[in-house]
Amino acid sequence: MDMKDLRTQIDEIDRGLVDLITRRFAVVRDIAAYKAKNNIPIHDPARERQKLNDLADSVGEELAPSMDALFSLIFDLSRSEQHRIIAGGSPLKQQISLALANTPAQFPVRSAVACQGVEGANSQMACERIFPSGSIMYFQYFENVFSAVEQGLCRYGVLPIENSTAGSVNRIYDLMMEHSCYIVRSCRVKIDHCLLANPGVSIGDIKEIISHEQALAQSQSFLKSLGVKVTPVKNTAVAAQMVRESGRKDLAALSSRSCAELYGLDCLKASVQDAGSNFTRFICIAKDLEIYPGANRTSLMMVLPHKRGSLSHVLSRFKALDINLLKLESRPLANSDFEFMFYFDLDSSVYNDSFLRVFDDLQGAVTTLKYLGSYSEVV
């Protein structure tokens, strides 16, 4: 028997499997109708455990792990199908469909925008990239930006979400969980850290350098070479402002070249960051869900059941729907017993047929799902 004969056998078996799976899902739909009529919960963990044990016994020890993985996925897909039938599609799916229908065709160029920091901050550059004619209001803390948007003081807020070398700004993800806001746009800003000091100062005079903690983390090699005191402050632009106001000859800031001009400082050394290609991605948030034409990136946060295979089952759904992942991160949940929050960025057009289907498929597979928004990135 050659490879062609073996593959013919596999093809015949696969056709039989397709027929059986099709018949199984037809029965699953009948079960969903029965459960809805008789008010029976969709998930029956005892029944699933017994089924998996029976299947493992029937195939033997060698095939038991593979059978467990296969049928655990089948059970998850069956539950998602029952959720879709009983609920008529997830409420989140309906919310997204409504936003797609009601969001204006044009993203506004003029609006009141909140950002953290002071004039000259990288957040200001991000605001101007997203809103060329926007009116910017500055706030001291990230929390203030969220509050300004929620309370209607500003329609939008712009915040840093991740850096190409220092990674995610975890505080922003925490605040996205705490507040009811959505991402409606994003942009990338090239970050170039310069050593700024008051006029007449030389590098040898410096005893302390101040900047935002991420800027300090991105310039560790340079800072170690100087061997001076390093102090984190709220913002790179705030650091430049503090140096100017202090008048000190032994104090310098890591900030942008534009801040040197803005605050009358000398640039003692440019591009001191460790990586030459250093970008920060900023997100634009709004109180209401707005999905503008061209949105091709979706951000989600999930808590998964604390059991074996939970993450692989979610990933298999994305694969089945041909949705690529741009980002996957995990962080431990506060006040929990080693539970984790997962962050996903999906690469999918909102007009893709499989995009809305993913929210039906995730029903029953996750403990918590928070949709952060669908948006495009300003290049």
Which residue(s) pair with 375 in the sheet? Answer: 297
Domain assignment present for residue 218? The answer is yes
Domain assignment present for residue 375? The answer is no
Beta strands in 52-153 (DSSP E): 112-116, 135-139
**pLDDT tens digits, residue range 57-114?**
999 889 999 998 888 888 888 887 887 787 666 788 889 989 999 999 999 988 999 9
The separation between CA 81 and the C-alpha centre of its own chain, rounded to angstroms, equals 26
Domain assignment present for residue 153? The answer is no
For the chain, what is the domain count? 2
Domain assignment present for residue 347? The answer is no
Domain assignment present for residue 209? The answer is yes
pLDDT at 89: 63
CATH number at residue 242: 3.40.190.10
Question: Which position has the token pair 């059986």?
Answer: 20
Which of 209, 237, 269 is where one domain is finished?
A: 269
Please give the backbone phi and psi of residue 376, each rounded to the nearest 5 degrees, phi first: -115, 165
Q: Is 8 a catalytic residue?
A: no
**DSSP code, position 154:** -
Please give the backbone phi and psi of residue 136, each rounded to the nearest 5 degrees, phi first: -95, 130
Catalytic residue among 131, 280, 344, 359: 280
The SS3 call for residue 364 is coil
Count of CB atoms situated within 10 Å of the CB of 87: 16
CATH number at residue 63: 1.20.59.10
Residues in the chain: 379
Q: What would the two tokens of residue 68 be?
A: 């467990």
Cβ burial, residue 86 (10 Å; 0-12/13-18/19+): middle
- Give the predicted TM-score (pTM) of the model: 0.81
Domain assignment present for residue 309? The answer is no
Nearest CA to 43 out of 80, 6, 91, 15 is that of: 80
CA–CA distance, 377 with 347 (Å, rounded to integer): 12
**pLDDT tens digits, residue range 188-221?**
998 889 999 999 999 999 999 999 988 998 899 9
Which of 65, 88, 111 is where one domain is finished?
A: 88
Domain assignment present for residue 251? The answer is yes
Q: What would the two tokens of residue 379 be?
A: 């290049």
> Half-sphere exposure of residue 61, counting CA atoms within 13 Å on the CB side?
0
Please give the backbone phi and psi of residue 125, each rounded to the nearest 5 degrees, phi first: -60, -40
Strand duo 377-378 + 182-190: pairing: parallel
Which of 247, 269, 291 is where one domain is finished?
A: 269
**pLDDT tens digits, residue range 152-195?**
999 999 999 998 877 888 899 999 989 999 999 999 998 889 99
Catalytic residue among 282, 318, 344, 359: 282
Q: Is 22 a catalytic residue?
A: no
Domain assignment present for residue 100? The answer is no
**pLDDT tens digits, residue range 100-154?**
999 999 999 889 999 998 888 889 999 999 999 889 999 999 999 999 999 999 9
* Residue-range definition of the domain harbouring residue 25: 1-88
